[in-house]
Structure 1
Amino acid sequence: MTLQTIVERSLSMLGYPAATHELFNRYSDSTQLDIAPSARISIGCLLRRQVELGPHTRLSRGCVLDGDVTIRKRTNLEPNCDLVGDVELGKYCAIARETTFQQTNHKTSQPSMQIRFYDEVLDSDLPPTAEGPITVGNDVWIGTRATILSGVSIGDGAIIGAGSVVTDDVEPYAIVAGVPAERVKWRFPKAIREKLLDLEWWEWDRDEILDNREFFERELREAEDIPTVSI
Structure 2
Amino acid sequence: MRQFVATNRHIAFLRERRINTHHEQECRLSEGHIIFLRETARIEPYATFIVGSGFCSMGSFSYSWSEMFPDVVVGRYCCIAHDVKFMGGWHPMRSLSTSSMFYDRQILAYRDAQEDFGVPVPVRHSDETPDFPVIEHDVWIGQGALIGRGITIGTGAVIAAGSVVTKSVEPYSVVAGNPARHVRYRFDEALCRELLESRWWRFALPQFADLDFSDPRAFLHQLRDREEDMAEFSPLPTLGSELIAL
Q: Could you tell me the TM-score, scaled by structure 1's length?
A: 0.72
Quote the offset at 1:164 in angstroms. Answer: 0.7
Q: What is the deviation of 1:132?
A: 3.4
Q: Is the CA contact 1:82–1:98 (under 8 Å) kept in the aligned structure 2?
A: no
Q: Secondary structure at the match of 2:174?
A: strand
The answer to whether residue 73 in structure 2 is matched with residue 83 in structure 1 is no
What's 1:141 paired with?
Answer: 140
Which residue of 1 is the match for residue 11 of structure 2? Answer: 17
Q: Which residue of 2 aligns with 1:30?
A: none
Provide the secondary structure at the position in 2 that maps to 1:214: coil
Bigger fraction of residues in strand: 1
Aligned pair 1:70/2:57, yes or no?
A: yes
> Aligned residue for 1:54?
44
What is aligned with 2:108? 120
Q: Does structure 2 conserve the Cα–Cα contact (< 8 Å) formed by 1:36 and 1:55?
A: no
Structure-2 change in CA distance of 1:48 and 1:206 (3 Å) = closer
* Distance verdict in 2 for CA 1:130–1:140, change over 3 Å: same
The question of 1:98 aligning with 2:88 is answered no
Change (3 A) 1:87 1:15: farther
Larger Rg belongs to: 2
* Superposition deviation, residue 172 in structure 1: 0.6
Change (3 A) 1:111 1:37: closer
Alignment of structure 1 residues 189-200 onto 2, 5 Å: 189-200=188-199
Give the residue type in structure 2 aligned to 1:37.
R
Alignment match, 1:25 = none
CA RMSD of aligned residues (A): 3.3
Query: SS of 2:195's equivalent?
Result: helix
Secondary structure of 2:187 counterpart? coil
- Could you tell me which amino acid in structure 1 is paired with residue 83 of structure 2? E
Note closer, same or farther for the CA distance 1:133–1:116 as it changes in structure 2 (3 Å cut).
closer
Give the equivalent residue in structure 1 for 2:212.
215
Q: 1:216 is matched by which residue type in structure 2?
A: F
Gaps of 5+ in 2: 22-27, 112-119, 228-246
Aligned equivalents of 1:161 and 1:128: distance in 2?
A: 31
Counterpart amino acid of residue 53 in structure 1: I
SS of the residue corresponding to residue 38 of structure 2 reads strand
Contiguous gaps of at least 5 residues in structure 1? 22-34
Residue identity over aligned pairs, in percent, reads 26
CA distance in 1, matches of 2:144, 2:38: 24
Q: Give aligned pairs, total.
A: 200
Query: Cα deviation per residue 1:140-159 (whole Å; 9 max; x = unaligned)?
Result: 10001111111111111110
* Native 8 Å contact 2:212 2:218 kept in 1: no
